[in-house]
Chain A
Amino acid sequence: MELDLGPEIAEFRAQLRDWIAAQAPPELAGLFDWNMVMTAGGRRGGQLARAMAHPAYAQWSDRLREERLICPQWPEEFGGQGMDAVRLAVLNEEFHRAGVPRVNRGMGESLVGPSIIVHATPEQRAHFLPRIISGEDVYCQGFSEPNHGSDLAAVETRGVISGDEIVITGQKVWTSGAARANRMFLLCRTDVRAEKHAGLSYVLIDFTAPGVTYRPIRQMSGATEFCEDFLDEVRAPLFNVIGGVNNGWRVAMTTLGHERGGRASVAHLGYQREFWELVETAREHGKTSDPLIRQRLAWAYTQVELMRYSGLRTLAQVAAGRPPGPEASVAKLFWSEYHKKLGEIAMAIEGADGLLRPDGDGYPVTSWQGVFLSSRAGTIYSGTSEIQRNIIGERALGLPKDRRIVG
């Protein structure tokens, strides 16, 4: 069943579908399963990189850019088309339907862009936003530190104002995509005397500048997706401080209202495809007649359908103009906890086969072992499950905050 979003949206959808059919290079859909679940720290990164290096992908990116379908939700003056959340959702649905990639600009699009759009000066917006859309600036995130993960506001990386520059020294960790990035957005402490949230600045630095070094950290899955980074007196112009010195916390916490709901109705699709792949594996192992496996697979099917229903409900609420609630935290808690259990079911289905992995250097694992191992991180990154539960308990249920020890 499809959500009725009205005749205007139906027309938008039909036009978009025609455009995709006419403009998408024919080999594109077959290059990679663009809809599949990509777990951070997982093993499909290499395949994805190869697919993105294909000329059809570049061709497609160019066409999308001309049509302002890269970062379409951004204002027109910066290269987007001011697309609203409902149309963005339809866009996502149609791209999925056609099996073609969205060509999103990673954290530049999802995190840096909104912060800049809301907090930057007109000159900063005009400078930084087009470079994100063009792809020339690729961002990685400099937030977590070895001593400050969940308690992000306590970061210690120092930013010292020196003339018309800011000089940054410190250490960051869990940076994904560092090897592909030429820019970093980071939080540093520019006022050590202020209350912890009030002394932070949000800075965009050149990740290739002198003073920046990074080392990959090996994850238990064998992948090296995350890095630790060392910033040794890295210089950036004051122009690169967004939202003003000591206003960094507010800038970092920005999410644009219309970011919510854009992916709500498609977020489940990757998990749906993954579920049916697991069913295929179960059939190959003769496990679909095992009543316990049937129960667990029925449970997994249920969870993915619940994601679908919740996504539709969120989209309907966005379309009705209702203010967002805790859906983002609920959704993140839901999929990440689900995915760990899905990995466990996969291992139960593999049985003794799960004891062994493919031969070769670098700890190659089977695809289900890869899901099983990398899913353990899902409840940790992007806000741990414990943090999400705090947010849900306090903001959605109005439960009182925990006692804070100020030291």
Chain B
Amino acid sequence: MKLGVSAEQAELRDSVRRFLAERAPLSRARQLMEAGDGLDGAVWEQAGSQLGLLGLAIPEQYGGAGFTFAEQVIVLEELGAALYGGPYLASAVLAATALLASSDEGCRRDLLPAIASGQTIATLAFTEDDGSWDPAAIRLSATRAGDGWRLDGHKSFVLDGGSAGLVLVLALADGALSLFAVEAGAPGLSTTVLPTLDQTRQLARLELQAVPGRLIGSPGEAAAVMDRVLDVAAIALAAEQLGGAQRALDMAVEYAKVRHQFGRPIGSFQALKHRMADLLLEVESLRAAVSYAAEAVAEGSQEVPVVAALLKAYASDTYFHVAAENIQIHGGIGFTWEHDAHLYFKRATSSGLLLGDASYHRERLATRISL
């Protein structure tokens, strides 16, 4: 395992950072939030076809660039820092990982190239109205209809469900957890974009009435696929959370240096200085953990399930802690709509809840280390 950022990786990080600063600054994110659709098509297209970010970790034979998860984590951290609202996590991570983890080579060849280029926006629909992140809670069912399948039920909390052209749906086929590919315009499928607390992250609800779906792999294999997807997704999300936490910490520190009260910068007061020192300790620890986790995924290590659970819990607590303190350190203006602090706070909150909160993952960790 090699830790640390190579020269190539540093270049990737810098170019993504520049791209986002130019094409997806927070002012743009706010415009998209007001407009309510959350997707800048031109930026997505550039990210995909020009910068190759969407297919970065997809193998070359499926149209990707064939880099490892370690490179993807670098991109994810930058996306998190910029509060990028486009469907990267949904399409390039959740959907792509599900296809790569399945046994279905035909589906991979058919579906991955368009995901890699960005032409198709894909997502994974697994959670239902009860809000459980455990695949064992899934009830949506698939029944055979001639050569194919029909899906009946609903999905909720679907990341970028309103922007996706391709939805990978988890359903019970003959009582066994299975994965299906569903087209956005399929008959019987109705999609509602949901109003969200964090307006930088789109969530949708799907109603399915006899919707045609293409089975990916064989019935029952999706349980193992989901184990894999959820672990990789947790680490990917943690990388985003790291980026956001670092940015929020930088914001707090910068403000504490320039804001003066009682004749001196407020950062010289120990009450604030010490709390920021604690935040740095957490962010640096998170950084070391994300780095290790990225290597673990890239190397196919057996440690991934334990590291993923550990990391999701820690990243959620850390990001929230930093984002909350960032508001406090800014005083009154930190609470305004106009200031950016609340955007990080709400993203920290939504990221903390997505895929299961910190306590949920600590319990999973406890099980995985056989407590």
Please tell me which one of the listed residues A4, A309, A334, A401 contacts residue B291 in the complex, with CB atoms under 8 A apart.
A309
List chain A residues, Cβ under 8 A from B281: 330, 333-334, 392
B interface, by DSSP: helix, strand, loop or mixed? helix
Contact yes or no, B280 A298, CB < 8 A: no
Residues of B within 8 A of A302 (CB): 310, 313-314, 362, 365
Task: Provide the bound-state CA to CA distance between A334 and B280, in Å.
Answer: 11
- Which residues of A from 292 to 313 have beta carbons under 8 Å from B? 294-295, 297-299, 301-302, 305-306, 309-310, 312-313
CB-CB contacts below 8 Å: A365-407 with B? 386, 388-390, 392-394, 396-403
**Residues of chain A with a CB closer than 8 A to B287's CB:** 313
Task: Find out whether the CB atom of B264 lies under 8 angstroms from the CB atom of A1.
Answer: no
B265 within 8 A of A: yes
Q: Which residues of A contact B299 (CB under 8 A)?
A: 1
Q: Distance in Å from the Cβ of A234 to the closest Cβ of chain B?
A: 37
Q: A297-B366, A298-B371, A388-B277 are in contact. Are A400 and B1 (CB under 8 A)?
A: no
Instruction: In the complex, identify which listed stretch (B93-101, B130-138, B268-276) lies at the interface while the others stay far away.
Output: B268-276
Chain B residues within 8 Å of A389, by CB: 270, 273-274, 277-278
Instruction: Report chain A residues within 8 Å CB of B269.
Output: 402
Asked if A240 is at the interface of the complex by the 8 Å CB criterion, the answer is no
Q: Select A400's contact among B3, B257, B284, beta carbons within 8 Å.
A: B257
Q: Is the CB of B303 within 8 A of A402?
A: no
Question: Of residues 273 to 289 in A, which have CB atoms within 8 Å of B's CB atoms?
Answer: 279, 282, 288
**Residues on the B chain within 8 Å of A356, using CB:** none
A316 lies within 8 A of chain B by Cβ: yes
Given A2-B1, A398-B253, the answer on whether A306 and B273 have CB atoms closer than 8 Å is no
- Report the nearest A residue to B296, measured CB to CB: A1
Q: Which of chain A's residues has its CB closest to B269's CB?
A: A402
Closest to B290 in A: A309
Q: Is the CB of B284 within 8 A of A294?
A: no
> Are A399 and B268 neighbours in the complex by a CB distance under 8 Å?
yes
Q: Which of B2, B270, B272, B285 contacts A386 (CB 8 A)?
A: B270
A306 to B295, alpha carbons, bound, how many Å?
A: 15
Task: Give the chain A neighbours of B64 by CB distance below 8 A.
Answer: none
Q: Is A253 an interface residue (CB 8 A)?
A: no
Q: Which residue of A lies closest to B307 (CB)?
A: A305
Is the CB of B62 closer than 8 A to any CB of chain A? no
* Those of B347-371 within 8 Å (CB) of chain A: 359, 362-363, 365-366, 369, 371
- A402 to chain B: which residues have CB within 8 Å? 268-270, 273
Q: Is the CB of A309 within 8 A of B292?
A: yes
Residues of A within 8 Å of B274, CB to CB, are 386, 389-390, 393
**Whole-angstrom distance between the alpha carbons of A317 and B314 in the complex?**
23
Give the residues in chain B near A309, CB-CB below 8 Å.
285, 288-289, 291-292
Q: Which residues of B contact A394 (CB under 8 A)?
A: 273
Determine whether the beta carbon of B363 is less than 8 Å from that of A399.
no
Q: Which residues does chain A contribute within 8 Å of B277, judged by CB atoms? A: 333, 388-390, 392-393, 396-397
Q: Is B73 an interface residue (CB 8 A)?
A: no
- Do residues A288 and B371 form an inter-chain contact, with CB atoms below 8 A? yes
Judge if B87 is at the interface, Cβ distance under 8 Å.
no
Q: How far is the CA of A403 from the CA of B277 in the complex (A)?
A: 18
Q: Is the CB of A393 within 8 A of B273?
A: yes
Which residue of A is nearest B250, CB measured? A397
10 cross-chain pairs, A with B, having the tightest CB-CB distances, nearest first: A393-B273, A389-B277, A392-B277, A298-B362, A316-B3, A399-B267, A309-B288, A389-B274, A400-B268, A294-B366
User: Could you give 20 example pairs across A and B, Cβ below 8 Å?
Assistant: A1-B296, A3-B2, A3-B3, A298-B363, A301-B369, A305-B307, A306-B285, A306-B314, A309-B291, A310-B285, A313-B292, A320-B4, A334-B285, A389-B274, A389-B278, A390-B270, A394-B273, A397-B277, A399-B265, A402-B268
A399-B273, A402-B268 known, 17 other contacts, Cβ within 8 Å: A294-B363, A297-B371, A298-B369, A302-B362, A306-B285, A306-B288, A306-B289, A313-B291, A316-B2, A316-B4, A333-B277, A388-B277, A389-B273, A389-B274, A394-B273, A399-B256, A402-B273
B residues apposed to A, CB below 8 Å: 1-4, 253, 256-257, 264-265, 267-270, 272-274, 276-278, 280-281, 284-285, 287-289, 291-292, 295-296, 299, 301, 303, 307, 310, 313-314, 359, 362-363, 365-366, 369, 371
